[in-house]
Structure 1
Amino acid sequence: MRRADRLFQIVQYLRGGRLVTAAMLAERLEVSERTIYRDIADLQSTGVPIDGEAGIGYIMRSGFDLPPLMFNREEIVALVTGARMVRAWGGTSMSAAAEEALVKIETVLPDKERSQVGGTRIFAPEMGLPRATRNLIDRCETAAEDRHILTFSYIDKGEIKTDRRVQPLGLWFWGKVWTLVAWCELRNDFRMFRIDRMEDVTDSGQVFTHVPERSLAECLRQLEEKYGPQ
């Protein structure tokens, strides 16, 4: 994650009006607490009204909001294209959210830029994903966000079925196939599971603890070490 994106996310987390500790932010953003302390100090120095101190927590004074964002043509094309892709190939909730995002983006743009939204010439034809698959994508995304352990039966490419209990870390899209990236408790290692080969998926409701050695960041590190930058 770029530093600018991380600073933006910190502001969003603090806008809830509740005390947030550096440890909570560090865990959520997968950086060290020292990095969070430095980011908070930099935000405060630019006038963002953040109160608090290290070891106690931080809170943002009410009334603060980010200035409106403006987009150039290339940024509009990227946003519209991304939203169209999600609408065509994402989960049920993702697709609806992408449609709503396009509406919101269009309403805040000046007239000249607004015309570029509908005029973007990049399209994403529907893949015809079954509704059950779209719903499963949403369920896996929610489980990864909430850190809920998932159980399911998995059918591998050799048509061998095994029961799995995993700690979901994220979703990857490969153009035609969605995979769930997770820490598999059966294999005691990182694994990727094709969404369309998962059956009887159940959210256990059990929350797993963030462990650096089993995190998405560590999974990416191992992949880069094996295959090069992803």
Structure 2
Amino acid sequence: MSRTHRLFQLMQALRLGPGPHTAARLGGELGVSARSIHRDIATLREMGAVIDGAAGYGFTLIEDNALPPMGFRDTELEALVLGLREVEQIGDPELATAASEALRKLQARLPQRQAHRLRHAVLAPYRFDRPIPPAISAQELRQATWDEVEVRFGYTDGHGAVTERQVKPLSVVYFDRSTVLIAWCCLREAIRVFRLDRMQGLQITEQSFRPHRVPMLRDALEQFRHEHRQAARRTCKD
């Protein structure tokens, strides 16, 4: 194992778990002596890593944004590329653009061999039918969901009926043919799913429902799983 590769591996080991990580244990994982680990820790610190601790006490990595990425395994890189290229195809315009920019930044920061592997990845998604574009700003909706504030919009259902809705947005989900919002609907007083291509006139309110989004989403997903199990049982009986 080259020293450069060992430094990559050491950074990865330090990132796993809360620490502190003793030099003896790190050395055992990497197949080197504790003294080599101490020298490598000093090198990483010179490169900009903030590593707390000392000999005899163990080491804890404090992430430093000034430190370049320490590398990915080839399979991790393939997974990242596949995921980002999938987002380029199924995401709304802002998200698709962000995925493309992330790929370019990733390629610029990788070692030469892995940058070449990214450019010529053997895995690639392809969709003959792209999802229907949203009729509202998906970026604004995502931000409102993250901020945990209620939103209002007009909604056209599958029969063409239009209603005004105010909802607590919980999650945006990208399906094969459409993008949907899982939300608590104040009109129906229940969890509902809304297609973004059927929403109009999105308005962000100042009505906060923080910090309830995560437990509400967990309950909503459990409700969907329960309904799916019930439907499966009925199908089996038929």
Q: TM (normalized to structure 2)?
A: 0.63
Alpha-carbon separation, structure 2, partners of 1:83 and 1:135: 23
1:151 and 1:166 in contact (8 A); partners too: yes
CA contact 1:149–1:168 (8 Å) conserved in 2? yes
Q: Is this contact kept in 2: 1:73–1:113, CA < 8 A?
A: yes
Q: Is the 8 A contact 1:91 1:135 kept in 2?
A: no
Q: State the AA in 1 paired with 2:130.
A: M
* Contact in 1 for aligned 2:88/2:99 (Cα 8 Å): yes
Structure 1 Cα separation of the partners of residues 82 and 214 of structure 2: 35
2:110 counterpart residue number: 109
Equivalents in 1 of 2:101, 2:172: separation in Å? Answer: 22
Q: SS state of the match for residue 210, structure 2?
A: coil
Change beyond 3 A, Cα 1:89–1:189: same
The whole-number CA distance in structure 2 between the counterparts of 1:153 and 1:46 is 55
The Cα of 1:214 is off from its aligned counterpart by 5.9
SS in 2 for 1:215: helix
Letter in 1 for 2:187: L
Mapping for residues 210-229 of structure 1, pairs under 5 Å: 210-211=211-212, 215-228=216-229
Give the direction of change, closer, same or farther, for the CA distance of 1:179–1:151 in structure 2 (3 Å limit): same
Q: Secondary structure at the match of 2:140?
A: helix
Any conservation in 1 of the 2:167–2:183 contact (CA below 8 Å)? yes
TM-aligned CA deviation for residue 150 of structure 1: 0.6
How many percent identity over aligned positions? 27
Structure 1 residues 45 and 217: CA distance shift in structure 2, 3 A: farther
- SS of structure 2 residue aligned to 1:43: coil
2:223 maps to a residue whose letter is Q
- 1:127 paired residue among 127, 130, 148: 130
Is the alpha carbon distance of 1:69 and 1:205 closer, same or farther for their aligned partners in structure 2, counting shifts above 3 Å? Answer: farther
Structure 1 pair 224/46, CA: closer, same or farther in 2 (3 Å)? Answer: farther
- Counterpart residue number, 2:18: 43
Aligned alpha-carbon RMSD (Å): 3.1
Task: Structure 2 unaligned segments of length 5 or more: list them.
Answer: 1-14, 23-50, 53-61, 230-238
Q: Secondary structure at the match of 1:167?
A: strand
Amino acid at match of 1:193: F
**Equivalent residues in 2 for 1:197-216, closer than 5 Å:** 197-211=198-212, 215-216=216-217
Unaligned runs of 5+ in 1: 1-10, 12-41, 50-62
How far the C-alpha of 1:65 sits from its partner, in A, is: 2.3
Distance 2:217 2:185 in 1: 13
What amino acid sits opposite 1:127 in the alignment? R
Describe the superposition over 1:127-184 as per-residue Cα deviations: whole angstroms up to 9, x where unpaired. 3865xx3762212111101112110111111111111100101111111200011111
The letter for the 1-side match of 2:64 is D
Cα offset for 1:90?
A: 1.4
Question: Is the Cα–Cα contact under 8 Å of residues 179 and 193 in structure 1 kept in the other structure?
Answer: yes
